[in-house]
Amino acid sequence: MKTITCTAPVNIAVIKYWGKRDEKIILPLNDSISFTLNQDEMCARTTVAVSPSFTEDRFWLNGKEESLENPRIQNCLKEIRRRASKRKLEGSIEDILNWHVHICSVNNFPTAAGLASSAAGYACLVYALGQVYGVEGDLSSIARQGSGSACRSIYGGLVRWYKGELDDGTDSVAQPIAPPDHFPNLRIIICVANAGRKKTGSTDGMRQTVQTSRLMEYRVKESVVTRTEAMMEAIQDKNWSTFCDLTIADSNEMHAVCLDTFPPCVYMTDTSHAVASLVHQYNEVKIARGDLNHKVCYTFDAGPNACLFVPGAVVKEVLALLLRTFPPGPSQSPTEYVKGIPAQSATLSKELMSLGDEDFEGGRLKYLIHTRVGDGPRLMLDAESSLLDHTTGVPKPTNGTA
């Protein structure tokens, strides 16, 4: 038996991917740009094992066996094996191509809740398969065929996914554009309004939008093209204020085209809008002080959960503001409510104390995840990290989470 275990990160897009020109091999209608998040707080972990004793391909996700007939998983597996077969293999390695595979994957955060679980999961799957079969070179175009945004999780820092022009998708790849520390000490706070499975999945939502939204036509032909190049310039110049404005604008536009869809795709909730409003109020204070380098920006993927990008110098202040405006539920302690990097308290100024809406009821947010920008997939070398038993090739009894 040959076994490999890897972890892979979540990524959060600041220029959104929404809409495909080819659904089968997942080719997007526009380029997108994302931050890769640190794996200490949010990651997928996958173990891949191959053995001549396995009688069939098998797959377990978050402790439950799933069908491997999923065409997206099959596309990734077939492409990895195809690339491996083209290499000059030596000795018993060639036999591996004929062995069955067992795959076990877990997330340490909610699945299908608008937190980019599929991006982390498919990036981890493809990276682990690549390690097992000795496939080198670009893996982003393979991960893309599992979940479009997964191609961006193949790299750390800031990443751009190029939509490409070719029908076969060979030029639709992700490439890193800046390292994790490009904006030094940047923090990310994810405000989880709902950790449940979203009503309209991204695949269905995108299809409906492309088919029915007139605003989407304008986005693809005009606004997102201009905004992407402006974002690249802001990143290159490290212009944080412009970066924030562009990030918010693209998130707002993506959800506008979702609402322009027929029937509309509604992902944001009243709580989502309350978080967005708080960010705008906070930024008005910073702008009035001429403190543009300490603005905060939000972005929402296809779900109700806000992702806030916060300069490290004001992260204590922003966390204190969030805790005041969206306090924990009655049964939650502060340590349960703020997950990830430990949070320290800060005293809010009178000006900041006046921000927020009138409803300070506890429990509107389920919890906060405090994290930072991170690197790409990691290979885990210790045997204890494996999710599969090294003798039977089936999941270990305790492997329900990453």
Q: Are residues 160 and 88 in the same domain?
A: yes
Contact 11, 34 (CB under 8 A): yes
Contact 301, 13 (CB under 8 A): yes
Q: Are residues 155 and 194 in the same domain?
A: no
Model confidence, pTM: 0.94
- β-pairing, 367-372 vs 58-61, is unpaired
- 97 falls within a domain: yes
Residue 243 structural domain = 186-372
In the prediction, which pLDDT does 11 show?
96
Which tokens belong to 50? 């191959």
Q: Are residues 79 and 220 in the same domain?
A: no
The CA radius of gyration of the chain, in Å to the nearest whole number, is 21
- 136 falls within a domain: yes
Q: Are residues 96 and 220 in the same domain?
A: no
Which tokens belong to 137? 């070179």
CATH code of the domain in which 168 resides? 3.30.230.10
Q: How far apart are CA 206 and CA 301, in angstroms?
A: 12
- Which stretches of the chain score pLDDT less than 70? 88-94, 110-116, 196, 398-402
- β-pairing, 367-372 vs 338-340, is parallel
- H or E segment to which residue 309 belongs: strand 306-311
In the prediction, which pLDDT does 91 show?
45
Q: Are residues 78 and 132 in the same domain?
A: yes
pLDDT digits (tens, 9 = 90+) for 68-100: 989 999 999 999 999 998 875 544 456 789 899
- 402 falls within a domain: no
Ramachandran sector of residue 164 (left: φ over 0; alpha: ψ -120 to 50; beta: rest): left
pLDDT digits (tens, 9 = 90+) for 7-44: 999 999 999 999 999 999 999 999 999 999 999 999 99
CATH code of the domain in which 257 resides? 3.30.70.890
Chain center to CA of 237: 25
- 63 falls within a domain: yes
Cα–Cα–Cα angle for 323, 358, 252, rounded to 5 degrees: 75
In the prediction, which pLDDT does 343 show?
80
Q: Are residues 6 and 125 in the same domain?
A: yes
